[in-house]
Structure 1
């Protein structure tokens, strides 16, 4: 597989706290790579360094052969990185198709040159992206009338509208029912493989991780302790020890056991 993203030796410090230490991994086109770990492991820090929200103190991030280390989020987006968020980012007062049209207007650099009704621009293309996520039949419905699972599909269509090489997904199934989670992650995997999009995602729902990731990267205290296929990570003794030793309460222990699937 062709390497799409190469991350080498990333480090990030906040005062005396090291949130990322020698973080090194790669991601292939069409591959789903999950970043998991206990709270405070450095997942969000790593994710945000790749996305440009945080500038690393050391290391490099190379996307499709181009160094994007430390570039601002908008420039990284222009270079082919799309993103979805833990809380869906949509214009709730607009229709479904208008949300995607706005993304296309921005992608084509037309935000300052639109003189007529924006609703006339890129409608057909927007419908095409909605069809990819199974939302074309709801194109003219206001977003604020949709079920949350459908809003997340709209957000995915918005991210795809910029034709990304790499898609960053921050807790993509947060707030969703189990069936919705499975459907969204399978849809994402199908789209990624069909269009050669690399997907890097963070996720707390371990059914989504182990059911849909091609590989999993496990972070603890800013360092990678394991990388491998779901089966390899599930059977990794150090991963088991970290999750089982992390409980501060019976509820936390149960959650970690379920997360790591180490019964």
Structure 2
């Protein structure tokens, strides 16, 4: 089932096109990675979908509902969750309390924050933490966690809003190599089980070619290639623009070995 339809998005900053006629779709349960060199328009496209930027033209439809140009909070209310390149958590709170806060927000119960937060939606928070492998750490302060575990807590926080679409900005940034694969495998499993569409930007090619169902490549605001990981990885223009002509064969061989 098609969940997200992005049609001919355009965004200019001064005389520079950050996004030019960007169009793509995303199905429920699918993982779509956006890659490209610095300044390619990845963040601009990402932020237009998430409501942080308003497109100059074009449309965005989520599950049949137009969300083009709506502010980020309204987009969140429509079913869009998000994680960030630098994990956004309350480090002074416990792991469980972070998720409980997200559940309080989802239920529109902000007035109840004057009560004892530790008793609000406790069981639901523990269930979400179990899904991301953090149930045993529920009562630890987030400040004591390894960064890879903080990323898992952030994922649980995002899931608390029961999103239809999950936006992940550089999900493996700052993580140790051994932790990256685990987070992306977990995300892919949860996406399939819950029918969540996942749109993510990433510089780590193993996280892209090893876990995405489809890959989209942006250069100077335009899509130059899109399709399966194998299709995109073998595209001559992608190799030239993204990897560079010099050493292209060696670089491609190394990347293929990394994700084999």
TM, length-normalised to structure 1: 0.94
Q: CA deviation at 1:179?
A: 1.1
Q: What does residue 143 of structure 1 align with?
A: 142
Query: Are the equivalent residues in 1 in contact too, given 2:206–2:255 (CA < 8 A)?
Result: no
For 2:227 and 2:188, how far apart are their aligned partners in 1? 18
Q: What does residue 226 of structure 1 align with?
A: 225
The CA deviation string for residues 112-165 of structure 1, in whole angstroms up to 9 with x for no partner, is: 244421211100000011011000010000000000000000000000000000
The CA deviation string for residues 195-249 of structure 1, in whole angstroms up to 9 with x for no partner, is: 10000000000000000000000000000000000000010111011124388xx
Structure 1 gap ranges (5+): 248-252
Q: What does residue 251 of structure 2 align with?
A: 257
Paired residues for 1:12-161 under 5 Å: 12-161=11-160
Query: Are the equivalent residues in 2 in contact too, given 1:204–1:259 (CA < 8 A)?
Result: no
For 1:238 and 1:198, how far apart are their aligned partners in 2? 27
Query: Are the equivalent residues in 1 in contact too, given 2:181–2:207 (CA < 8 A)?
Result: yes
Q: What does residue 205 of structure 1 align with?
A: 204
Structure 2 gap ranges (5+): none
User: Please, what is the CA RMSD of the aligned residues?
Assistant: 1.8
Relative distance call for 1:105 and 1:54 in structure 2 (3 A) is: same
For 1:204 and 1:178, how far apart are their aligned partners in 2? 13
For 2:137 and 2:61, how far apart are their aligned partners in 1? 38
TM, length-normalised to structure 2: 0.95
